[in-house]
Amino acid sequence: MIALSLAEITSLVGGRPYDIPDPEAQVTGPVVIDSREVRPGSLFAALPGDRVDGHDFARRAVEAGATAVLASRPVGDAEHPVPVIVVDDVVAALGALARGIVDRLGTTVVALTGSAGKTSTKDLIAQLLERLGPTVWPPGSFNNEIGLPLTALRADAGTRHLVLEMGARGIGHIDYLTRLTPPRIGVVLNVGTAHLGEFGGREQIAAAKGELVESLPAADEGGVAVLNADDPLVRAMASRTKARTVLFGEAEDAAVRAENVRLTAEGRPAFTLHTPTGCSDVTLRLYGEHHVSNALAAAAVAHELGMPVDEIAKALSEAGQLSRWRMEVTERADGVTVVNDAYNANPDSMRAALRALVAMGKAGEARGGRTWAVLGQMAELGEESLAEHDAVGRLAVRLNVSKLVAVGGQEAAWLDMGAKNEGSWGEESVHVSDVRAAVDLLRSELRPGDVVLVKASRAVGLERVAQALLETEGEVAGRWA
């Protein structure tokens, strides 16, 4: 963050100073919401919460070196004064501060959204743009009204690119985020079935995602909408923006497209990247064919910002997965491979992960290896939940996954039911009640060459299965990076 005085911050957020002896004191460190992350010169934002109230940690933050606290009420007393900028809404104030910083910096803001693949694509874009200059991007999935401004507030005078992920749980959410950090380049990956129960249908999801392209500057002002040519609902967003449109995908009319798409023996995608200025071959370090679309979106952004095609291809081929529990692949000493994709799940990402599992499993078939899909609930699907879980179970059979372990309650039972109704599956599909039961089953039956995919919505906590399987080996023999 660029250095600002408390007086400047107070003005930007529309706050009121309280117990601030020196309004010209500088905030030079990061803006944080966890008092344990305070460094000298920080600004501590005291967020209210159901379980923990940040106001209770305000004094500790100042004692640790914070210049001041952003809070909804005074938090000190006569004996222990705490310098506070008092605001009506701390979250809204964070957004206002982010907007003030972004306006002063003039950095290129790249924002992306989509029903699946946002975080992986954000990581790819960031790794490409870093080669062009200093780039700031969010850790993990900081894509809401708190995480996005916290990311933007990490930018400073040297930041050339600010890459932001934007999530939506309803109409108007992305519109709000774009007003905090107005993007010049907007990327829409896909319109799928994530949060289907909250939105009510894919058309409503498309309406929400399209708010990103509506926010972009006009073409003559540098606005660029990067749209997935292979998704009809995304392609149609070209009519909703004044920005110049760039299509990516496998469609023939896509400006940035992939040809000769294939998977290596390890399940890594390879393809020929075509751009308006040339073509070059790419082999990703990531796993699963679904990453081809993500890579094309990143390539389109990098191309727009001046990166030559050969450098784009080289950067994509060297890029890794930066965020945890997203197709995180580890090979144990005994030859069992664990794929931890348990950060989140929706029907689209489930299908992609199952296809990746099958591709990866081919490498172990020669050793008698099998593919295991350890799956749990996909949340927020509303009335479509039964049908979508049933369909994923059926797909596991159609793809010839060797074993399905459905973990949890009703939704897991639907996964198991779908598999058994699709084929003559007996012991090939099993429904277990919890993580411990899944781990016990796997520990007793896994053998060298097996590949285990672990995936569910974040609330299920299914990453504990992957962690337990790796802990059994002590020191992990090697990691597929």
State pLDDT tens for residues 21-34. 999 999 998 999 99
In the block, tokens 């939506």 appear at: 168
First to last CA, the chain: 32
What is the rounded distance in angstroms from the CA atom of residue 234 to the CA atom of residue 49? 36
What is the rounded distance in angstroms from the CA atom of residue 115 to the CA atom of residue 189? 7
pLDDT for position 366: 64
For 344-373, write each residue's pLDDT tens digit: 888 988 998 999 899 888 866 766 789 999
Task: Encode 363-396: b = buried (16+ Cβ within 10 Å), e = exposed.
Answer: bbeeeebbbbbbbbbbbbbeeebeebbbbbbbbb
Mean confidence (pLDDT) of the chain: 92
For 77-112, write each residue's pLDDT tens digit: 878 899 999 999 999 999 999 999 999 998 999 999
Contact 159, 336 (CB under 8 A): no
Question: What's the predicted TM-score (pTM) here?
Answer: 0.85
pLDDT for position 197: 55
Q: Percentage of the chain with pLDDT > 70?
A: 95
pLDDT band at residue 473 under the 50/70/90 scheme = very low
Question: Is the pLDDT confidence value at 424 over 80?
Answer: no
What is the rounded distance in angstroms from the CA atom of residue 332 to the CA atom of residue 89? 49
What is the rounded distance in angstroms from the CA atom of residue 343 to the CA atom of residue 319? 20
pLDDT for position 62: 96
For 425-470, write each residue's pLDDT tens digit: 667 999 999 999 999 999 999 999 999 999 999 889 999 999 999 9
Query: If you average pLDDT over residues 375-389, what whole number do you get?
Result: 92
Name all domains of the chain by residue range, CATH numbers in brackets: 4-90 (3.40.1390.10), 106-318 (3.40.1190.10), 328-479 (3.90.190.20)
Tell me the one-letter amino acid at 481.
A
As a 3-state breakdown, the chain gives helix, strand, coil percent values, each rounded to 5, of 40, 20, 40
For 38-81, write each residue's pLDDT tens digit: 999 999 999 988 788 999 999 999 999 999 999 999 998 878 89
pLDDT for position 99: 97
pLDDT for position 348: 85
User: Beta 328-331 vs 337-340: how paired, if at all?
Assistant: antiparallel
Q: Bridge-partner residues for 430, per DSSP?
A: 405
pLDDT for position 474: 43
Phi, psi of 222 (to 5 degrees): 95, 5
Q: Which residues contact 267 (CB under 8 A, 6 or more apart)?
A: 287, 288, 356, 359, 360, 362, 363
In the block, tokens 């429904």 appear at: 431
Residue 477: count other Cβ atoms within 10 Å of its Cβ: 12
For 278-334, write each residue's pLDDT tens digit: 999 999 999 888 899 999 999 999 999 999 999 999 999 999 887 777 888 999 999
pLDDT for position 93: 98
Q: Taken in order 298, 123, 295, 205, is the CA torsion positive or negative?
A: negative
pLDDT for position 196: 58
| pLDDT top residue among 481 and 189 | 189
For 129-152, write each residue's pLDDT tens digit: 999 999 999 987 789 999 999 999
| pLDDT top residue among 132 and 481 | 132
